[in-house]
Homo-oligomer: A and B are copies of this chain.
Amino acid sequence: MPAGQQPQAREPDGGPQHPHPPPPTPALPSEVVPAYPPPESEDDESWVWTQIKAEARRDADAEPALASFLYATVLSHPSLPRSLSFHLANKLCSSTLLSTLLYDLFLASLTAHPSLRAAVVADLLAARARDPACVGFSHCLLNYKGFLAIQAHRVAHVLWAQNRRPLALALQSRVADVFAVDIHPAAVVGKAILLDHATGVVIGETAVVGDNVSILHHVTLGGTGKAVGDRHPKIGDGVLIGAGATILGNVMIGAGAKIGAGSVVLIDVPARSTAVGNPARLIGGRKGDSDKDEDMPGESMDHTSFIRQWSDYTI
């Protein structure tokens, strides 16, 4: 996808070149799909919530065996924050951390921090737009462990910032157990994030992840081990990190960069470049300023266009 457009996609613009037609109305030509309001707006949340309820109602009608689940998780709730808080609380609770406690905690955080709710919405939109397997917002809300892990992290991060660190760490631990996603509560994560498949993702304490980033499963944003201070990667906006990539140390992955699956990256990667291999080497050059409208891989999810450059083995 041409870089720079996607964000606009959500502004009220109505531009005919509109790149991502809201999934819910795929049959319509994208031009006539009214643009999303900006994700931060209250309207955006309510629009997504309306979609989710419509999807859940349709599915409950079609599949009685799932209706109880859909009513419990979605249709009985008056708002997205309550639905999400309920679902997370029931996923993450344990015999020593009861669901009612977690429900209270999630709901209080989502209520107090509109930016958290905006990020929830942006993540839902991102999953819907980027993942071809995502058949609806409710599918992401209910079934994507990466989505759920990120939202729990956002709450843990708020707790961490409030100096409620033991609670934040306990939450991290539950997410690591239940979703096999281990994000330190101090890590700073932007919005419109897609953690696809998500199993095995590890993000360290001093990592920073920008907006519009897509991270596949088994990705590590790790430390170098012996350092104590700022020791984890910084991921720019629009970065795409392929499955199993390992990025170690306080390195900078520039905006719009692409990290190949299975790469081991130990040094900086410039913006809009691609790093592949173990150890990673760069392929393709830095793109000129002129093409800044172009594809941001974190949004377009183009994993393999670099294949001809990189992989030249013969058979």
Contact = CB atoms under 8 A, between A and B. Distances in A.
Interface string A13-51: 000000100000010000000000000000000000000
A81 interface: no
A86 to B, nearest CB: 5
A135 interface: yes
A122 interface: no
Interface in A100-148: 100-101, 103-105, 132-133, 135, 139, 142-145
Given A135-B165, A180-B199, A278-B262, A244 B228 contact: no
A176 B205 contact: no
Given A72-B68, A226-B301, A243-B220, A314 B279 contact: no
Contacts of A64: 71, 75-77
A151 interface: no
Contacts of A176: 143, 145, 197, 199
A180 to B, nearest CB: 5
Interface in A161-201: 164-167, 169-170, 172-173, 176-180, 182, 184, 197, 199-200
A172 B143 contact: yes
Given A176-B197, A282-B315, 15 more contacts: A9-B228, A65-B101, A65-B105, A65-B164, A95-B95, A100-B103, A103-B104, A144-B173, A145-B173, A200-B200, A222-B303, A262-B262, A263-B278, A278-B278, A281-B314
Interface of A: 9-10, 19, 26, 59-60, 62-73, 75-77, 82, 86-87, 89-91, 93-101, 103-105, 132-133, 135, 139, 142-145, 164-167, 169-170, 172-173, 176-180, 182, 184, 197, 199-200, 202, 204-205, 216-218, 220, 222-228, 231, 240, 242-244, 246, 248-249, 260-264, 266-270, 273, 275-282, 297, 300-305, 307, 310-311, 313-315
